[in-house]
Structure 1
């Protein structure tokens, strides 16, 4: 039948094995989600919102064990894991308070006596989710999907089976009816079968570009709605008038948060040439002060990568970039210790054609590219097949907004680190995917925008 193995990336030691759900179990789970849907969808949106308020309370009550489980399974710092759980609770409260308004019929003037758009749920929705934010990534889709009246099936990343099981437990503790949210402990080989099941009406994936193409292809064959949030290689543009001390401090946070394993982490630092040397010196100083260690320790700044293959892939990208002419100013190697640690790394003089520029680097590697002026900085930022997020740093906010509007990405920030916020839609363009999560747009992704015309 197979197992999903949970491994502690800090030590490399096995934590626990979880049995894979057999085919019959998958069928029963999908059947239960389908059977529960009519009853759940008929509840008033305000009633479903009450369950989200209970979910927020359950998350906060279980915050410490949830956070520790995430740190044990994927290596994020415990302080960041606690913040992730709290962010999930805040999103529950946001949608409980505002979500029902997003679902109110939209009246439209037409040749009818009465015409409107009604937002009606689709049915069971499959979420295929990643390991780097094991709670937030899943809940930022599950919260609006369930509030809209859908039921949810979760296929989580295979290296965080404990976090996946914990999510189902917290939904149960919050009093959600059985079948509204179900964890499917399955491998990637079983995903296509769930997608093509006629009872499943939509699929959302957050993950790699390759996984997105596979899920989209399977869903397309079955004519299923999809939302894809894929990789990113976010540009962090530093203009010549920026406050370099402040910006360099924010740059370290933007790149090395969550051990650098964040789709919206700043990955390409594009700096106007006139201030590049000064910025690089400050960035290097900040990187060299990063304390690598046990993510459970409160004073640790950087933990391990989640898996050994991720560490090896990252080192290969660094090596290929240096071979192509990039200068390695800090780090650039795996650390000789237990677990999957990689030294915080700074690459300078990175250009298009190098791995650190063209590919997504998922780990603690900052790549600096020098631009002659703001126009070249924008051109370099857009010279990527990805388009998830980007940021612009300048003392002139109006100019910063003008530059931000020129970036080919789904989320552009001025003088702020790119982040997801329940109040704002989140998603990408180009090979970073399509569709939106969060805010009003997020809740309307998995609904039928039904026109109702009454003579």
Structure 2
């Protein structure tokens, strides 16, 4: 049975515990979200749903301090960073509110072999299950829920066991925004109950953000019941430095991509730093010097940059991974003992090609630094991983940037930029980082019925979901 509890990462003290959902309660929730889909999801208009999303975003902003405090208490994120997460969450709701009509507009299709017209209409599918992680308790939920509520799908959320309070707060805000009961429900489900939900014929799809092991289990269960799945399973993102006009700025970008947010517990955070040979030593020296001045501190303080990991268990797991990387031949240039969940910034170099531990996702403030002899060597190192989520590339040569970006095996490439995420840009990966996309237009396309409506001579379109001005038929 899963245990849902809020445990202060700073002290390990259990602040609040919740029982797992009883089977009868789960039945009632499933009945409610299915009924709400049939009533509200199938009959509400896109303008109405957009208005509810807009209000949800506003409520997140109005309650940002309270939500940030909840996030920080649950998983140790510095409160200023948690507030930034809530603000980006609000921007996601606002994006889908502002673009709802365009994103769901009928798409004219060219008809070339007969009379009449044709359109592609995007409509809702049904009840969706979201299995969400702990590292971004608000943002991850919005990434999944906002586009699907815009479509008219209803949501059953299984939050991370350590984040029940943030899930409850999000549910309350969506009710306050005007969403009907059953449009979005959070449940403290066990693993067995998750399988039951997936098997329910009224549930049409599953979205999971988590480990590749969890993704495999959910995908297997969904496959048995022919359910659509979207998976975001983390990564081992490379940060490639091939040339720079300002090494200090490049090092600062590297630190921001790994150490200056959420204690490095970021799916798309840079994990492996691949630096061209003539810049390697200076890069490592400046990175190590900067990190030597950075120590974990209380996440409740506004000025804290590096807080604890999400739990002592997470810190213990990371400690074991670092030890295995070192035992396999790597050199630790910076590091030290952890104190509970507080983990010191760590820099590892001299990582050989047979160092299997270095191929894992190290979720925390640890940098693996590699020396690349050439562009080809850098690309080889970047792709030498079972993961393929995000990546970073720094170079002063725009031609090289295009060339290398095309060769990187990842769902996202950031060239000379860190922190370039936006609600309108798609998010997702390849290889063992999962499949499917969230955010932007592609986030709408995952759980939607793309229905062809073919109209013969004399048929008149209803005018529903009229195409946006200037849209021409797709061929």
Report the TM-score when normalising by structure 1: 0.97
Question: For 2:323 and 2:295, how far apart are their aligned partners in 1?
Answer: 23
Mean Cα displacement is larger for which, 141-150 or 182-191? Answer: 182-191
Contact 1:347 1:366 in 2 (8 A): yes
The aligned counterpart of 2:372 is 371
Question: For 1:242 and 1:367, how far apart are their aligned partners in 2?
Answer: 23
Which SS does the other structure have where 1:202 is aligned? strand
Contact 1:391 1:418 in 2 (8 A): no
Pair 1:267 & 2:268 matched: no
The aligned counterpart of 1:414 is 415
- The structural deviation recorded for 1:167 is 1.2
Q: Could you list the per-position Cα deviations for residues 200-222 of structure 1 after superposition, in whole angstroms to 9, with x for gaps in the alignment?
A: 11100000000000010000111
Question: For 2:9 and 2:192, how far apart are their aligned partners in 1?
Answer: 24
Mean Cα displacement is larger for which, 48-57 or 240-249? Answer: 240-249
Cα distance change of structure 1 residues 397 and 2 upon mapping to structure 2, 3 Å threshold? closer
Mean Cα displacement is larger for which, 324-333 or 48-57? Answer: 324-333
Question: For 1:370 and 1:382, how far apart are their aligned partners in 2?
Answer: 14
- For residue 239 of structure 1, the aligned residue among 242, 250, 254 is 242
Pair 1:140 & 2:143 matched: yes
Tell me how many residue pairs correspond in the alignment. 452
The aligned counterpart of 1:106 is 107
Cα distance change of structure 1 residues 69 and 134 upon mapping to structure 2, 3 Å threshold? same
- The structural deviation recorded for 1:62 is 1.2
Q: Could you list the per-position Cα deviations for residues 396-422 of structure 1 after superposition, in whole angstroms to 9, with x for gaps in the alignment?
A: 234223211211100101011255321
Pair 1:213 & 2:192 matched: no
The aligned counterpart of 1:5 is 5
The aligned counterpart of 2:455 is 454
Q: Could you list the per-position Cα deviations for residues 244-276 of structure 1 after superposition, in whole angstroms to 9, with x for gaps in the alignment?
A: 111111111111121111110000000111110
Question: For 2:273 and 2:118, how far apart are their aligned partners in 1?
Answer: 50
- For residue 304 of structure 1, the aligned residue among 270, 285, 308 is 308
The within-5 A match list for 1:46-195 is 46-110=47-111, 111-195=114-198
The aligned counterpart of 1:443 is 444
Mean Cα displacement is larger for which, 225-234 or 241-250? Answer: 241-250
Q: Could you list the per-position Cα deviations for residues 292-319 of structure 1 after superposition, in whole angstroms to 9, with x for gaps in the alignment?
A: 1101112222111112221111111111
Return structure 1 stretches of 4+ with deviation > 4 angstroms.
none
Q: Could you list the per-position Cα deviations for residues 53-78 of structure 1 after superposition, in whole angstroms to 9, with x for gaps in the alignment?
A: 11011111111111000000000110
Give the RMSD, CA atoms, in angstroms: 1.4
Question: For 1:246 and 1:317, how far apart are their aligned partners in 2?
Answer: 30
Q: Which runs of 5+ in 2 are unaligned?
A: 457-475
Question: For 1:112 and 1:307, how far apart are their aligned partners in 2?
Answer: 64
Which protein shows a greater Rg?
A: 2
The aligned counterpart of 1:280 is 284
The within-5 A match list for 1:294-373 is 294-335=298-339, 339-355=340-356, 357-373=358-374
Contact 2:80 2:303 in 1 (8 A): no
- The structural deviation recorded for 1:173 is 1.4
Question: For 2:455 and 2:174, how far apart are their aligned partners in 1?
Answer: 39
Q: Which runs of 5+ in 1 are unaligned?
A: none
Which SS does the other structure have where 1:54 is aligned? helix
- The structural deviation recorded for 1:351 is 3.1
Question: For 2:192 and 2:247, how far apart are their aligned partners in 1?
Answer: 48
- The structural deviation recorded for 1:372 is 0.3
